[in-house]
Structure 1
Amino acid sequence: MKQPFTRTVRRLAIATTAVTAATGMALALAAPAQAARPTAAEKQSVRWLGGQLTDGVMHNDQYDFDDIGLTLDAGLALAALDKRPADVEAIQSALGDDIEGYTTYNGDVYAGSVAKALAFTTVSGGDYTDVGGVNLRHRLHQLVIREGSSTGRIADHSDGTDYANTIGQAFAVQGLSLSDSGQAKKVIRFLLKQQCDTGYFRLQFNDDKDAKNQGCGGPGTNTPSVDVTALAVIALQDTHQMGKQVRSAQQHAVAWLLSQQGSDGSFAGAPPTDSANTNSTGLASWALGSSGVCRPARQAAVWVRGLEVPPNDDSALADETGAIAYDAAAYQAGESDGITTATRDQWRRASAQAAPALRYLRRSNCA
């Protein structure tokens, strides 16, 4: 049974939703190759992810709610890998059943949630004009600022805090580009403003929507983020607008990601998750592989595979083949305690973001 979100849980759900290049060197980004045979690790991981769904939803047993945001993360991974179409269809159906509960609350409408729902629906081939009776593209259009210095920025419709950020902006770029929206170019242009001089994309926008400088370097937090940068690169793969500007931004972002990759292939997130982990490494591998930067993508995928539960595991993880741990500490804890009610959420989030990297274990899956 679906449970209503409390305001606290809803805020958490919304909030949670990589050196080989010399400085200034232009990278040639190739189109990704047609997917070849899946790797064994990839098949195991998507099987585990699909097994976490109940009627198309990931239910959080610890706090007893249906986590639609995490469900969409899994759906985006499965759609990107073109695996388990029945599970993808089940997620589409479940999203329609709870679209209002996921994107709105007490009259507020959350731009990041709408953008993520639209991105999943378009990536997975669903009908974005009717998701539970909602035209997601139209709803997102209503949340795009149309004039002034913040033109193209997504923003919550709310009398309170605006939680929109660059992750939601990237999803908006993806969804609006794939649905051939006339607003896509404005949204892309604002996303590109969030790219900092060294190549990374920052997470938070300028709080003052009327300030002249809405880009990185202006007011706001400009902390480097592998996760945000990787998601921006992935989203920009799906647009054919502003070709030269987008390609330049992608090249700059990829060069920065490469500068962040550890010698073991791993990536770390931004504080407070500034240690090697599969979320950041998986997303970076996905971004690099989809950009045709194959060797680093494979190195990252190999690191991720090292934290995937293998078949015939003889520890307490014996029944969790394909699950991907967040880091070595989480894997070690799982070996002794298994995946518990309290830790399953972290394993699911890590697996959803890291699974697409596993395709790059096979070089033929990269351009």
Structure 2
Amino acid sequence: MHIAVRQLLATLTVGAVVAGFAAPAQATPRSSAVAAATWQASQLDDHGGIHNDQYDFTDWGLTVDSVVALKATGARPALATKATAYVAAHVRSYNSDDYGQPGVRISGATGKLLYLADVTGSDPRDFGGFDLRAESLALMTASGVNRGRFQDQGTTDYSNTFGQAFNILGLARSGGVPRAAVSFLTRQQCAAGGFRLDPDDAAPRCDQAADPVLDPDSTGLSVQALLAAYRTGNKAAGTAARKGALWLLREQAQNGSFDGSGPTASANTNSTGLAGEAIRAVGRTHLVTADAGRRLLTGAAKAASWVRTLQLTPADATADIGAVAYDATALSDARRNGITTETRDQWRRATPQALLVLARVSLDDIGRQRRR
């Protein structure tokens, strides 16, 4: 596959039967999250990866997302371990790309690998023989307009806010994150509170751009990364996280859903999963007033309820019980035709991100549930 497509899949996270799955008599967000993660686990191949049938390659980014989903819910722990080992054995296939040039490092993929290592209780300094914390820090620009930005090396730079957030999450959880990295991320936040996906050298601060596109997905992920930085002592990160969460709350539709931006600018479960979990995470902190906290938690509950309406259940008479549709159109099509070879990749991408709001555990807390 062309490197540009592979690198995009590295950071953006847009018929197997679920073995032994039995729906509880009264489904809850938690049980719905477990059902979704169990379905996602059924999509792993014999090696423990997600294989993209359309382009015939192992999708390492989606494999990482799948492991994170399993760790968020506690579902299929043995498969989570197997998939983690498979990723660890192929670090360079992901963060330098099988078809890339020697010396290529993809910053978003590096950040996700670092985050995965900590989430799974692996050693971030020796994951598959690589010091991912050192590799992440080596990709951070030291000076100039991009000071603090994690950028791709040895290839065209496709780094974006998603990759910045994952590197911050990974570093914050594995020993601390440089303030410059957090500052670069907060510069991608406009005064209204939302974050843009793509940094702009000509407009280093979001509000300097002529017409910045504020992206709920980027905002949801950034808010959770900033909470991680805040918990390491960066107070400015907490202020930015609160501001981002309140912006998301204003953007939420009455039915609980969130739109994306650009090609995803309609109600979808990817955006709703990320944004819903972000507002829930901030709502549980002392960063907001009691009233704002209640509104944020109510918004998160509405987001979870909406996501559950797009999840396949035994009533749908399908083999793919637990999978979460990207949107209402995808759900309607699956109810008529099942999940087909052509549509399966979209379901695999929607489910692990959508279930975050159902699992009720922030990205910074995943993997720590039993450590605390």
TM-score of the two chains, using structure 2 as the length reference: 0.83
Q: Which runs of 5+ in 2 are unaligned?
A: 14-27, 285-295, 362-372
Q: Which runs of 5+ in 1 are unaligned?
A: 18-36, 362-367
Judge which range, 320-329 or 350-359, deviates more.
350-359
Does residue 40 in structure 1 map to residue 31 in structure 2? Answer: yes
| Residue equivalent to 2:178 | 184
Question: Aligned partners of 2:210 and 2:126: how far apart in 1?
Answer: 36
User: Any idea what SS the aligned residue of 2:321 has?
Assistant: coil
Judge which range, 331-340 or 215-224, deviates more.
215-224
1:219 CA drift (Å): 4.7
Question: Aligned partners of 2:49 and 2:106: how far apart in 1?
Answer: 20
Change (3 A) 1:38 1:327: closer
| Residue equivalent to 1:364 | none
8 Å Cα contact 2:29-2:308 kept in structure 1: no
| Residue equivalent to 1:167 | 162
Judge which range, 298-307 or 286-295, deviates more.
286-295
Cα-to-partner distance string for 1:316-358 (whole Å, 9 max, x where unaligned): xx11010000011001111122111111110011101001211
Any residues of structure 2 matched to 1:1-367 within 5 Å, and which?
Answer: 5-7=1-3, 9-14=5-10, 16-17=12-13, 39-54=30-45, 55-104=47-96, 105-107=100-102, 108-158=104-154, 160-181=155-176, 183-207=177-201, 214-219=204-209, 222-239=212-229, 240-291=231-282, 292=284, 293-314=296-317, 318-360=318-360
8 Å Cα contact 1:310-1:322 kept in structure 2: yes
Stretches (4+) displaced over 6 A: none
Q: Between Structure 1 and Structure 2, how many residues are aligned?
A: 329
1:9 CA drift (Å): 4.1
Root mean square deviation, CA, Å: 2.0
1:63 CA drift (Å): 1.8
User: Any idea what SS the aligned residue of 2:121 has?
Assistant: coil
| Aligned-partner residue type, residue 355 of structure 1 | L
Cα-to-partner distance string for 1:6-38 (whole Å, 9 max, x where unaligned): 435424423634xxxxxxxxxxxxxxxxxxx97
Cα-to-partner distance string for 1:217-273 (whole Å, 9 max, x where unaligned): 235872011000000112222222454311211111011000011011111000111
Question: Aligned partners of 1:268 and 1:148: how far apart in 2?
Answer: 34
TM-score of the two chains, using structure 1 as the length reference: 0.84
Question: Aligned partners of 2:349 and 2:319: how far apart in 1?
Answer: 18
Change (3 A) 1:149 1:62: closer
User: Any idea what SS the aligned residue of 2:116 has?
Assistant: helix
Change (3 A) 1:244 1:303: same
| Aligned-partner residue type, residue 119 of structure 1 | Y
1:89 CA drift (Å): 1.5
8 Å Cα contact 1:288-1:297 kept in structure 2: yes
User: Any idea what SS the aligned residue of 1:217 has?
Assistant: helix
1:360 CA drift (Å): 4.7
8 Å Cα contact 1:282-1:355 kept in structure 2: yes
Cα-to-partner distance string for 1:147-199 (whole Å, 9 max, x where unaligned): 233221111112x4211111000001100111114x53221121111111000
Change (3 A) 1:69 1:186: same
8 Å Cα contact 2:72-2:356 kept in structure 1: yes
Cα-to-partner distance string for 1:277-296 (whole Å, 9 max, x where unaligned): 11111111111222223211
